[in-house]
Amino acid sequence: MAISHSNLPSLTFPSPITKNQFPFPIKSLSTKPPKRRRFEICFSTSRSNEFRVRETVETRVGLVLPGGSWWSLGDDDGGNVESSTKSAPAKPITAVFALRRMWELISGDGRWAIFVGFGALVIAALSEISIPSVLTASIFSAQNGETVVFCRNSQFLLILCVTSGICSGLRSCCFAIANMILVMRLRETLYSSILFQDISFFDREAVGDLTSRLGADCQKLSHVIGNDVHLILRNALQGTGALINLMTLSWPLALSALVICFILSMIFLFYGQYQKRAAKLFQEYTAGANEVAQETLSLMRNVRIYGTERKELGRYKQWLDKLAFVNIRESVAYGLWNMSFNTLYRSTQVIALLLGGMSILSGHVSPEQLTNPLEQVKRSSS
């Protein structure tokens, strides 16, 4: 039986789906991602990591360098973690005012010690300045076979050494006596001033702060005359005398020594200001630690009853952390100052040796004339 195609139902086929009508992106199965794409991503990642590491290192190095934020002592907040009412900041004290007050405190018995010590200091400084030239003359007179000159220079050198030793000992003894008198009268004056204050003063100030001023602060001032003023006067006299002597021998060496001394003075100026701020904070933090310790130990029964030992230990440790924070930066600053001082101090000797060697090679000076300036440069820089 024959079937007519006209009787079959009509079938409609959908039109083929184009790429734009497909609901999700079509990727060819035969295409593979290029391999160099992965290497480019890895290379760019390594470059970005290297840049981040370099940026981190530069940032941290910049923080540690002088002037960076690592050197900030955090003295804006006053350092009072749990302090009581804070008193008004005191006026800055100049060096002239401090020296005048110290001179008033050592009036009477202490002033004769200052006068004797200063006289011994001048004699000792002149003796130490004269020793290098006499020593050089003795060495070269012995080399040239001049027996009479050698004996005379040796006797003079022996007298200078004995004089310098006796005057140095007398100088140290006199300044130590004056320093003892200063500290004794300073503590007496401070204690009497505290006792005669108004009763509201004791409500405002902590006991630990007052005892710290009587103890630690006065002890810190105990070496002002015996060490600081004493060394400043000695070095100033020796340096001035050595520079004058050096200018008569060789003005280029004197000029180089003056330049290096000026650089050292500028560095010491910045270091001194930083040291002053650090010392002030150290005194405040020490007073805070003493206050916490005194409160805890005086109320030990209450602390034991309420079981707040760890809390009190945490309070005390906060002040210790602040003290360590200041001490670390103070130690690093002292190390940098010592490094710069020793470097510039040795560089003066190198410059003197180079200039003197060039003068010897050109025939302007003799080795005997060079030895004395080298010693004078050493003393002027120290």
| pLDDT per position as a tens digit, 176-212 | 888 888 888 888 888 898 888 888 888 888 777 788 7
Dihedral sign computed on CA atoms, order 104, 105, 107, 112: negative
Instruction: Tokens 């650089």: give the residue.
Output: 263
pLDDT band at residue 316 using 50, 70 and 90 as cut-offs: very high
pLDDT of residue 350: 81
Mean pLDDT of 287-306: 88
Q: Check residues 268 and 230 and name the one with the higher pLDDT.
A: 268
pLDDT of residue 378: 61
Q: Which two tokens stand for residue 315?
A: 């309070």
The answer to whether residue 131 scores a pLDDT higher than 80 is yes
Instruction: For residue 126, give the nearest of 379, 305, 381, 295 by alpha carbon.
Output: 379
pLDDT of residue 27: 46
Cα(49)–Cα(54) distance, rounded to whole angstroms? 8
End-to-end CA distance of the chain: 132
Q: Check residues 335 and 353 and name the one with the higher pLDDT.
A: 335
pLDDT band at residue 170 using 50, 70 and 90 as cut-offs: very high
Q: Which two tokens stand for residue 4?
A: 């007519």
Residue boundaries of the structural domains of the chain: 93-248, 250-382
pLDDT of residue 322: 92
CATH of 93-248, one of 1.20.1560.10, 1.10.287.130, 2.40.50.140, 3.30.1360.150: 1.20.1560.10
pLDDT of residue 50: 58
pLDDT band at residue 272 using 50, 70 and 90 as cut-offs: confident
pTM over 0.85: no
The CA dihedral of 185, 187, 189, 191, to the nearest 10 degrees, is: -150
pLDDT of residue 202: 83
pLDDT of residue 165: 92
The answer to whether residue 24 scores a pLDDT higher than 60 is no
pLDDT of residue 314: 92
Domains 93-248 and 250-382 are alike in CATH topology: yes
Provide the CA 265 distance to its chain's centre, in angstroms.
Answer: 14
Q: Check residues 351 and 184 and name the one with the higher pLDDT.
A: 184
Instruction: Tokens 């560089």: give the residue.
Output: 347
Q: Which residues contact 277 (CB under 8 A, 6 or more apart)?
A: 73, 75
At the topology level, CATH places domain 250-382 in ABC transporter transmembrane region fold (1.20.1560)
Cα(16)–Cα(21) distance, rounded to whole angstroms? 10
Q: Check residues 255 and 222 and name the one with the higher pLDDT.
A: 255
Instruction: For residue 277, give the nearest of 72, 22, 135, 126 by alpha carbon.
Output: 72
Helices (H), the chain: 35-64, 95-105, 109-143, 147-195, 199-204, 207-212, 218-220, 230-249, 251-298, 300-306, 309-362, 367-381
Instruction: For residue 348, give the nearest of 214, 250, 273, 218 by alpha carbon.
Output: 250
Do 125 and 241 form a contact (C-beta atoms < 8 A)? Answer: yes
Cα(214)–Cα(188) distance, rounded to whole angstroms? 9
3-state DSSP call for residue 262? Answer: helix
Average model confidence (pLDDT) for the chain?
A: 75
Q: Which two tokens stand for residue 23?
A: 């609901």
Burial 16-44 (b: 16+ CB within 10 A, else e): eeeeeeeeeeeeeeeeeeeeeeeeeeeee
Beta-carbon count within 10 A of 359 CB: 18
The answer to whether residue 39 scores a pLDDT higher than 80 is no
Q: Which two tokens stand for residue 297?
A: 């130990």
pLDDT band at residue 163 using 50, 70 and 90 as cut-offs: very high
Q: Check residues 339 and 55 and name the one with the higher pLDDT.
A: 339
Do 358 and 282 form a contact (C-beta atoms < 8 A)? Answer: no
Beta-carbon count within 10 A of 285 CB: 24
3-state DSSP call for residue 128? Answer: helix
Beta-carbon count within 10 A of 144 CB: 11
Instruction: For residue 237, give the nearest of 129, 75, 154 by alpha carbon.
Output: 129
pLDDT band at residue 132 using 50, 70 and 90 as cut-offs: confident
Highest mean pLDDT among 87-101, 107-121, 350-364: 107-121
Cα(331)–Cα(352) distance, rounded to whole angstroms? 32
pLDDT of residue 6: 46
